[in-house]
Structure 1
Amino acid sequence: MITIRKSEERGGADYGWLKTYHSFSFSSYYDPQYMGFRSLRVINEDRVAPTKGFATHSHRDMEIISYVVAGALEHKDSMGNSAVIVPGEVQRMSAGTGVSHSEYNPSDAAPVHLLQIWILPERGGMPPSYEQKKYEDTEKRGKLRLIGSQDGRGGSVTIYQDVDLYGSLLAPGDKIEYEIKPTRGVWLQLVKGELAVNGQMLSAGDGAAVDGESLLSIAAKSEAEFLLFDLA
């Protein structure tokens, strides 16, 4: 079964400096039908105005992934990390026993467009940690590139949960297939463009929850960018 989560049906808010859309319940947005998907708890699509951002705040026992679509995001945290994240890079922060961080748009002219992703860890009380890696477009074009996994294989960032996270860029007419192992589920989040997933159409911002399927056929109807989460 494939259930489409339409972009326009997501929760969200416009704070002036931040325009945000929530695929799942988050902050003041609550929908009991959308509390997450398996261990995937949050997908927020954020657009942050120039020179604005999220002031220092704290988390614990959460895997937090930042995926920048356009612009740049400046990160600082209580572990001593300071970095700027740009398109093509993936940042993974394991909050563990507790971490504080801030995220800002360092540009004085251009907004930053990003996905903020939270995944519940396999267990609590782990030491906080940080990772940031770059994946060239050539690694993702016309195929699925593993960018996050439990064991960090293939140069992916390490996520402390049984999940494989893939990124992909498809040109119009490109088609790929993905086999789903029994008992596992998939969430596909379309970042840009249009896709047909087992014949069902998705537009930018749409998500698809996949349960009880053994094979996904993914076809691009326009230039497309998406993330695929394979979850226990």
Structure 2
Amino acid sequence: MTIQPDIQETPRFTKRPANERGKADFGWLKSAHSFSFGQYYDPKHLGFGNLIVINDDRVEGGKGFGAHPHKNAEIFSYVLGGALEHKDSMGNGSVVSEGGVQYMSAGSGVTHSEFNPSQTEEMRFLQVWLVPEVENTQPAYDTIDLTPVDKDGKLKLFLSNDGRDGSMTTQADALVYAATLRSDQTITHDFPSGRKGWVQVADGSVRVNDLVLNKGDGLAIEGSGTLTFDQGQDAEFLFFNLAP
């Protein structure tokens, strides 16, 4: 009998360079789209797994998105600068500042607005949409504040499908982490088989295994194996563990 050696799977990477993202400029809003959105359409970039929107948005002081509807989408906003004011048809109202995340499960339908409450300071956030596992659920809203210590040199889980480790609960089959990384820090993560991964660099630069990513770059991950995040230069990034 011949015993076959174990085949060690390694992650496979596809880089989504920042300068190849779709762009939108409405004056008060400047946005970069990792996936097709609004007037930007690219059949090669319609999403990745159940991740369908990553918009890097900058909003002028006093401006924002008026009341508009959503349905059957899991949406979160990761605030990178300034503050984001939210109001919705469920009666929620909040202001989320830098380091905070707001999450909305649109479910069977909800209307909301988002504004920059400062008249002078620009606001920047990542707007992310995920596809829910079940449609037409009861809409929900939540927020979480991530301190610098929470994500310093480690992956901080802030959104999951089961609310583990104090994270917000989403209807999507996804685990979403935030991290910051300096040059003297290293993060290792065992990525499981049967999933898809995505890294989105919000600021600075970071190396994932042998691939250097800069601000605005995305990285699609398929296959399983060890992920190593190192050589951070004022790096801040999101890491997604997604349904296949």
TM-score, normalisation: structure 2: 0.93
> Where does residue 83 of structure 2 map in the other structure?
72
> Where does residue 88 of structure 1 map in the other structure?
99
> Where does residue 228 of structure 1 map in the other structure?
239
Aligned residues: 232
SS in 2 for 1:8: helix
Tell me, yes or no, if the aligned pair for 2:197 and 2:241 is still in contact at 8 Å: yes
> Where does residue 187 of structure 2 map in the other structure?
176
1:186 aligns with 2:197: yes
1:210 aligns with 2:236: no
SS in 2 for 1:154: helix
Equivalent residues in 2 for 1:32-111 (5 A)? 32-111=43-122
Query: 2:161 aligned to 135, 142, 150, which one?
Result: 150
Q: Distance in 2 between matches of 1:58 and 1:130?
A: 14
Identity %: 47
Query: 1:22 aligned to 24, 33, 37, which one?
Result: 33
Tell me, yes or no, if the aligned pair for 2:36 and 2:46 is still in contact at 8 Å: yes
For the aligned residue pairs, the C-alpha RMSD in angstroms reads: 0.8
Paired AA for residue 114 in structure 2: E
Superposed displacement of residue 123, structure 1:
1.1
Superposed displacement of residue 12, structure 1:
1.4
TM-score, normalisation: structure 1: 0.98
Tell me, yes or no, if the aligned pair for 1:173 and 1:222 is still in contact at 8 Å: no
Paired AA for residue 65 in structure 1: F
Q: Distance in 1 between matches of 2:240 and 2:170?
A: 12
Paired AA for residue 101 in structure 2: V
Superposed displacement of residue 220, structure 1:
2.9
Tell me, yes or no, if the aligned pair for 1:45 and 1:116 is still in contact at 8 Å: yes
Superposed displacement of residue 164, structure 1:
0.6
Deviates more, 1:15-24 or 1:128-137: 128-137
What 5-or-longer segments of structure 1 have no aligned partner? none
Larger Rg: 2
Superposed displacement of residue 173, structure 1:
2.7
SS in 1 for 2:149: helix
Paired AA for residue 139 in structure 1: D
Tell me, yes or no, if the aligned pair for 1:162 and 1:231 is still in contact at 8 Å: yes
Q: Distance in 1 between matches of 2:228 and 2:155?
A: 12
**Large movers: runs of 4+ above 3 Å:** none
SS in 2 for 1:138: coil
